[in-house]
Amino acid sequence: MSNDPTSMTGPGAAPAAAPSDFIRDIIAEDIATNKHGGKVVTRFPPEPNGYLHIGHAKSICLNFGIAAENSGARCHLRFDDTNPAREDVEYVDSIQADVQWLGFNWGDHKYYASDYFEQLYEYAILLIKAGKAYVCDQTPEEFKRDRGTPTIPGTPSPWRDRTVDENLDIFARMRAGEFPDGARTLRAKIDMSSPNIHLRDPGLYRIRHVEHHRTGAAWCIYPIYDYAHCISDAIEGITHSICTLEFEVHRPLYDWILLQLPFTDRPRQIEFARLNLGYTVMSKRKLLQLVEENLVSGWNDPRMPTIAGLRRRGFTPESIRQFCKRIGVTKYNGLTDIAVLEYAVREDLNKHAWRVMGVLRPIRVEITNYPVGQVEMLQAVNNPEDPSAGSREVPFSRHIYIEQDDFMEVPAKKFFRLSPGGEVRLRYAYIMKCEQVIKDEAGNIVELKCTVDLDSKSGGATAGRKIKGTIHWVSAPHACSAEVRLYDRLFTVPEPDGDASGKDFKQFLNSNSLEVLSHAKLEQSLAEAVPGRPYQFERVGYFCVDAWDSSPGEPKFNRTIGLKDAWAKATP
């Protein structure tokens, strides 16, 4: 495996201490006691019925992380593709791309549960022969009705005592396609009065005359998740099968099935709390609804909590891994504040982003005492956090743009930026004074006439003059005009899908989650910007070039995240 734990902190950084949690403790103990012959094999088992989201990232970092931290250990990527109706190769491809982008590698260990269909069928025959499984002709409604409740025992199916021969015969005919969907199921014969409902003769196989994206029309019976999952784990020699808490009640069934079959080294299922993140939804069914109802532009819409969306938004793999490390692994379900994720990306981008100037909502400025036609190239450091990023030249001229927000005609108290008669420092350049405000007939500001103190540039006689505010600017004749998209949280409430009012989650969509600015003026160097490099527009936020909609020489920018947590201020 090429998983290198030191790479998780980026090139040159000291290896971070390996995380520690109850699952890693169990594994360390198992290694120490030579359980599973000292082997550690984990797996990440997505169902290819949607794109991966940030919750999956938690599971990926855990499973692949454990493999990376233990020498000789490995993590399998297994597509849990036993439900053909909802699955698609588009999802298989996107899942692989996303796991790799996060920085993990399955090596030669990519598997599909559908590759085990024949073995799963053979094991079902073993169960039937052992009197541990039977064909049941009940309808799904009868099955539900007779299952009982946690306090009322179930009622045995009238088909429970079919003979082995009869079961073998009907099961073979189920496979051969003799019966319509839902006509029969194969059920485990366990205990209809067990306090655990999952042990009350659960279904193992159902009839579905649906083609599968890999096995085509070869099968019309498909194994149920609980049956396929434990056996797939055992076939692959998984030692620790890590899943989310809702499977805790399924664990006795997981163990029961494997105990009936000829496996010697059985995997152990361990549950942890899934990630729930504020201001978003995470169920693939709900994410699919947003996509299908065009409430977002696709699975990779930069507002989606999907890995593809976060990547397009400008999140880095490092920031997502750091986030997963920070939230840790526990047994307690809770809601993680989205600010934790936002903090992680800000922290990472602060280290790597190049500082540039970009004016999102421009006002034109003419500097009347600056020579017509003169252009000066000013030196700007690309990244003060990283000297190796070097510096670049930023042109300055008589016409510039500044941010509308940085000018107030009637300045509020403590407004230290530009106002009539007032002075402000232009980043990397001169101190500028506003002399006159030019308006159109409707009273809108069209231009500011300003002057600069020509000695106030770095190295000049008045360079040290104390000025309270510094603002960013862009030389007008050199500016790159670009579309800039400002993204915000997709929902207006922390728990859109668990709201006490019982409203549909879509009612909480944030109608201001996307603002498109078509006439932003960015510094010249950004005309050639390409996807992949993060930028900090000074004083504004972190941005990246949209990899989807940009064309060469015509970049479109996505705001990854603002410089500060705007929501923290907004909440009283």
Instruction: List active site positions.
Output: 47, 274, 284
Verify binding: residue 84, ligand ATP, rule CB under 6 A. Answer: no
Beta-carbon contacts of 459 under 8 Å, excluding residues fewer than 6 positions away, are none
- Choosing from 31, 230, 275, 450, the residue that interacts with ligand ATP (CB under 6 A) is 275
Task: Please identify, using beta-carbon distances, which residue of 80 and 301 lies nearer to ligand ATP.
Answer: 80
Please report the DSSP string for 255-309 in residue order: HHHHHHTT-SS--EEEEEPPP-BTTS---HHHHHHHHHTTSSSSTT-TTSSBHHH
Q: Which of ligand ATP, Mg ion, none binds 517 (CB below 5-8 Å, type-dependent)?
A: none
Q: Which does 58 bind (CB under 5 to 8 A by kind): Mg ion, ligand ATP, none?
A: ligand ATP
**Is 266 an interacting residue with respect to ligand ATP (CB under 6 A)?**
no
| 205-264 residues near ligand ATP, rule: CB under 6 A | 243-244
CB nearer to ligand ATP: pick between 307 and 418: 307
6 binds ligand ATP (CB under 6 A): no
Is 56 one of the binding residues for ligand ATP (CB under 6 A)? yes
According to the binding rule CB under 6 A, does residue 340 interact with ligand ATP?
A: no
DSSP assignment letter at 58: H
Residue with Cβ nearer Mg ion (194 or 244): 244
Cβ-Cβ contacts under 8 Å for 436 (sequence gap 6 or more): 420, 448, 449
Judged by beta carbon, residue 84 or residue 362, the one nearer ligand ATP is 84
Among 36, 58, 355, 472, binds ligand ATP (CB under 6 A): 58
* C-beta closer to ligand ATP: residue 275 or 291: 275
- In the complex with ligand ATP, which residue's Cβ is closer, 19 or 422? 19
Q: Which one-letter DSSP state was computed for residue 385?
A: T
The one among 189, 198, 229, 284 contacting ligand ATP by CB under 6 A? 284
CB of 274 to ligand ATP, least distance (A): 3
59 binds ligand ATP (CB under 6 A): yes
Reading the block at residue 74, the tokens are 């490995």
Q: What is the CA radius of gyration of the chain?
A: 30
Q: Please report whether residue 47 would count as binding ligand ATP according to CB under 6 A.
A: yes
CB contact burial 110-140 (16+ within 10 A = b; e otherwise): ebbbbbbbeebbebbeebbeeebbbbbebee
- Among candidates 313, 345, 328, which has minimal Cα distance to 336? 328
Question: Toward Mg ion, which CB reaches closer, 47 or 88?
Answer: 47
CA distances to 30, 101, 147, 513 from 125, rounded to whole Å, are 33, 41, 24, 54
First to last CA, the chain: 50
Per partner kind, with CB cut-offs from 5 to 8 A, the member of Mg ion, ligand ATP, none near residue 9 is none
CB 50 within 8 A of CB 287: yes
CB of 243 to Mg ion, least distance (A): 9
Q: Are 332 and 365 in contact (CB under 8 A)?
A: no
Three-class SS of residue 100? helix
List the interface residues with Mg ion, window 39-98 (CB under 5 A): 47
94 vs 312: CA distance, rounded Å: 13
CB atoms within 10 A of CB 145: 12
Which one of 279-287, 363-371, 466-474, 546-554 is the stretch in contact with ligand ATP (CB under 6 A)? Answer: 279-287
Helix (H) or strand (E) holding 179: none
Q: Which does 223 bind (CB under 5 to 8 A by kind): Mg ion, ligand ATP, none?
A: none
C-alpha angle 228/231/234, rounded to 5°? 150
Identified binder of ligand ATP from the candidate list 20, 100, 193, 283, rule CB under 6 A: 283
* Span from 53-61, 148-156, 329-337, 454-462 in contact with ligand ATP (CB under 6 A): 53-61
* Distance in Å, CB of 5 to ligand ATP, minimum: 20
Interface with ligand ATP (CB under 6 A), residue from 45, 309, 362, 555: 45
86 binds ligand ATP (CB under 6 A): no
Q: Considering the complex, what minimum distance in angstroms separates the CB of residue 283 from ligand ATP?
A: 4
* Contact partner, 301, from Mg ion, ligand ATP, none, Cβ < 5-8 Å per class: none
Smallest distance, ligand ATP to C-beta of residue 507, A: 20
Rounded distance between C-alpha atoms, residue 246 and residue 74, angstroms: 25
Region of residue 94 (phi > 0: left; psi between -120 and 50: alpha; otherwise: beta): alpha
Residue 76 binds which one of Mg ion, ligand ATP, none, with CB within 5 to 8 A depending on kind?
none
Check binding of 55 to ligand ATP (CB under 6 A).
yes
Pick the closer one to Mg ion by CB: 47 or 565: 47
Q: In this chain, which stretch among 275-283, 305-313, 361-369, 451-459 interacts with ligand ATP, using CB under 6 A?
A: 275-283
What are the helix and strand counts (H, E) for the chain?
Answer: 13, 25
Question: Can you spell out the DSSP letters for 22-38?
Answer: HHHHHHHHHHHTTGGGG
**Dihedral over Cα of 406, 410, 416, 418: its sign:** positive
Is the Cβ of residue 47 or residue 347 nearer to Mg ion in the bound state? Answer: 47
Least Å distance, CB 287 to ligand ATP, is 7
In terms of phi and psi (left: phi > 0; alpha: psi -120 to 50; beta: otherwise), the region of 82 is alpha
| Cβ-based burial of 235 (10 A; exposed 0-12, middle 13-18, buried ≥19) | middle
Chain residues that interact with Mg ion, rule: CB under 5 A: 47
For ligand ATP, the binding residues (CB under 6 A) are: 45-47, 55-56, 58-59, 80, 243-244, 274-275, 282-284
